[in-house]
Amino acid sequence: MGRSNFAPEKKVDAKFPDDYGISEGAVDNGGSTRLCLHEIKDKIGIFEGPSNAKILTSNSKAMKVNRYYYVGQIMAMSIVHGGQSPCF
């Protein structure tokens, strides 16, 4: 996301490595992408609460590294690519 050529509207190809660091050879029909975006949202550290009712929190460290900006991009990508819409 920090790359100058990053475009959130382009298709995301999410790959999950196995225990040996090798990516699975499956074709991503959207499930892997949705799972990846969901995992990012849950792990980014600016939301609290159950997964179906997250609330935005104030986090000064996240603010300093533009994490709120990136979360906005992740939410947009999730919606564009058929994933979960934000639940607040």
pLDDT of residue 86: 65
Q: How far is CA 48 from CA 31, 38, 54, in A?
A: 24, 14, 5
> Nearest to residue 3, comparing CAs of 83, 75, 63, 70?
70
Cα distance between residue 15 and residue 80, in whole Å: 19
- Could you list the residue range(s) of the whole structural domain that residue 7 is in? 1-88
Question: How many structural domains are present in the chain?
Answer: 1
Strands (E), 1-88: 47-48, 55-56
Reported as a single tens digit per residue, the pLDDT across 21-59 is 777 666 667 677 777 777 777 788 888 888 777 788 898
Secondary element (H or E) of residue 75: helix 67-80
Higher per-residue confidence, 39 vs 88: 39
Name the pLDDT band for 64 (thresholds 50, 70, 90): very high
